[in-house]
Amino acid sequence: MGYPKKLLNEREDVVLDLRPHWFFFFAPIISIAGLAVGLIVLTALFDGGIQSALVWLGGVVLLGLLLWTGWRYLTWISTNFVITTDRVIYRSGVFAKRGINIPLERVNNVIFRQNVLERMIGAGDLVIESAGESGRQVFENVNHPDQVQNVIYREMDREQDRNYDRMAERARGTSAPSNLPPPPPAAAPDVAAQLEKLEGMLQRGTLTQEEFDAQKKKLLGL
């Protein structure tokens, strides 16, 4: 089940909609496999009443593990990690729902963490640092968190471009009274804003140093 479109804002589109990585099921699967191996070994060592008791006990434990696995599946299918054109959304809960919304304009930094095993299977954690009450949010079992990090930064750049376009449209649509002198040219603030944007892209690795230097010279008219 994908993220409900009715929960999106006007003119907001889903860019990425992820479920937790299959590593989410690692613990119950390993537990079931370990139980099966243990029962095989123990029933081979004992017979009679002890063997029957072990089989009965193993069946009870297996039932519990299967219920745990079923609950994990319900949790997995009801969890969404979503990136839209406006925000990052995390929504989870089988019955009672819990949600986190982080506007892209408030995201300060995105960090991914992977150990050796997680790098091999394409899983990991994603840490989003943002302005506001939420501050720092950690999302576990994210599919390819390094790629998700790039998607968030790309959408942040696009959101920033859209904000510049909206500001420019509002500026063009506002006319000054005829008895007032024309407003000062907006070239300097625009250049400063563009330079700030380029520096952010350089820090995030979106631009190389050579590309940054070339774009900077172009903006400054050098």
What pLDDT shows up at residue 179?
60
What is the domain count for the chain? 3
Residues of the domain holding 128? 5-20+79-150
Do 145 and 89 lie in one domain? The reply is: yes
The pLDDT of residue 76 is above 50: yes
**pLDDT in the model for residue 174:** 61
Strand order in the sheet with 125-130: 107-113, 125-130, 136-139
Q: Is the same domain home to 15 and 99?
A: yes
**Model-level pTM?**
0.69
C-alpha triplet 21, 122, 130: angle, nearest 5°: 75
Q: What is the mean pLDDT of residues 199-212?
A: 73
Which pair of tokens denotes residue 93? 């809960």
Percent of the chain with pLDDT over 90: 50
Q: What is the DSSP string of 51-72?
A: HHHHHHHHHHHHHHHHHHHHHH
**Can you tell me the mean pLDDT for 100-129?**
93
Each residue's pLDDT tens digit, 89-114: 999 999 888 889 999 989 999 999 99
Question: What's the whole-number mean pLDDT along residues 187-204?
Answer: 67
133 and 95 in one domain? yes
Rounded Cα distance, 68 and 27, in Å: 10
| 14, 101: one domain | yes
CATH number, domain with residue 95 = 2.30.29.30
Q: Is residue 170 part of a domain?
A: no
Is the same domain home to 99 and 65? no
Q: Which of 176, 152, 25 is nearest to 90 (CA)?
A: 152
Please identify, among 60, 76, 92, the residue that sits at the C-terminal boundary of a domain: 76
Same structural domain for residues 95 and 52? no
Q: State the alpha helices, DSSP H only, in 92-186.
A: 116-121, 145-173
Percentage of the residues of the chain whose pLDDT score is greater than 70: 86
16 lies in the same domain as 101:
yes
Q: Do 34 and 11 sit in the same domain of this protein? A: no
